[in-house]
Amino acid sequence: MNEYRWADLTLGLRARFEADITDASMAAFAEMSGDVNPLHTDDAFAVARGFPGRVAFGMLASSFYSTLVGIHLPGKYALLHGIDIEMKSPAFVGDRLTVSGEIVHLTDAYQRLEIKASIVNANGKTISKAKIRAGVHEP
Amino acid sequence: MDRNSIIQDLKPIFRDVLDLEDLNLVAESNATNVDGWDSLAHVNLVVAIEKHYRIKFALGELQGLKKVGEMADLIAKKLAKA
Per-residue pLDDT of A30-45, as tens digits, reads 999 999 999 999 999 9
Return all residues near B29 (Cβ < 8 A) that are at least 6 apart: B14, B67, B68
Compare CB distances from A108 to B40, B44, B56 and report the shortest one's residue: B56
pLDDT digits (tens, 9 = 90+) for A36-69: 999 999 999 999 999 999 999 999 999 999 999 9
The answer to whether the Cβ–Cβ distance between A133 and B47 falls below 8 Å is yes
Residue A114 pLDDT greater than 90, yes or no: yes
Residue A97 pLDDT greater than 80, yes or no: yes
How confident is residue A2, by pLDDT bands cut at 50, 70 and 90?
A: very high
Q: Which residue of A has its CA nearest to B40?
A: A81
Picking from A4, A1, A2, the residue whose alpha carbon sits closest to that of residue A138 is: A4
Report chain A residues whose CB lies below 8 A from the CB of B56.
107-109
Element (H, E) at A120: strand A112-120
pLDDT of residue A76: 96
Report chain A residues whose CB lies below 8 A from the CB of B46.
107, 109-110
> How far apart are alpha carbons A57 and A21 in whole angstroms?
9
pLDDT of residue B22: 92
The answer to whether the Cβ–Cβ distance between A133 and B59 falls below 8 Å is no
pLDDT of residue A139: 82
Report chain B residues whose CB lies below 8 A from the CB of A108.
56-59
In chain A, what are the domain boundaries?
Answer: 6-136
> How far apart are alpha carbons B68 and B70 in whole angstroms?
5
The answer to whether the Cβ–Cβ distance between B40 and A81 falls below 8 Å is yes
Omega within 30 of 0 (cis) for the link into A74: yes
Report chain A residues whose CB lies below 8 A from the CB of B78.
none
| B56 phi and psi angles, rounded to 5 deg | -130, 135
Percent with pLDDT over 70 in chain A: 100
Report chain A residues whose CB lies below 8 A from the CB of B51.
105
> How far apart are alpha carbons A48 and A85 in whole angstroms?
28
How confident is residue A138, by pLDDT bands cut at 50, 70 and 90?
A: confident
Picking from A128, A109, A126, the residue whose alpha carbon sits closest to that of residue A65 is: A128
* CATH class entry, domain A6-136: alpha beta
How confident is residue A77, by pLDDT bands cut at 50, 70 and 90?
A: very high
Q: Return mean pLDDT, chain A.
A: 96
ipTM for the whole complex: 0.75
> How far apart are alpha carbons A93 and A9 in whole angstroms?
35
A107 touches chain B (CB under 8 A): yes
Query: Is the CB of residue B46 less than 8 Å from the CB of residue B57?
Result: yes
The answer to whether the Cβ–Cβ distance between B47 and A105 falls below 8 Å is yes
Return all residues near A56 (Cβ < 8 A) that are at least 6 apart: A21, A26, A40, A90, A91, A92, A93, A95
Write down the pTM of the prediction.
0.85
Percent with pLDDT over 90 in chain A: 99
Q: Nearest-CA distance from B57 to chain A in Å?
A: 6
pLDDT of residue A47: 96
**Residue segments in chain B with a per-residue pLDDT below the cut of 50:** none
Query: Is the CB of residue A21 less than 8 Å from the CB of residue A92?
Result: yes
Return all residues near B60 (Cβ < 8 A) that are at least 6 apart: none
pLDDT of residue A72: 98
Query: B3-81: which CATH topology?
Result: 1.10.1200
pLDDT digits (tens, 9 = 90+) for A18-34: 999 999 999 999 999 99
Hey, CA dihedral for A33, A35, A40, A41, is it positive or negative? Answer: positive
The answer to whether the Cβ–Cβ distance between B51 and A105 falls below 8 Å is yes
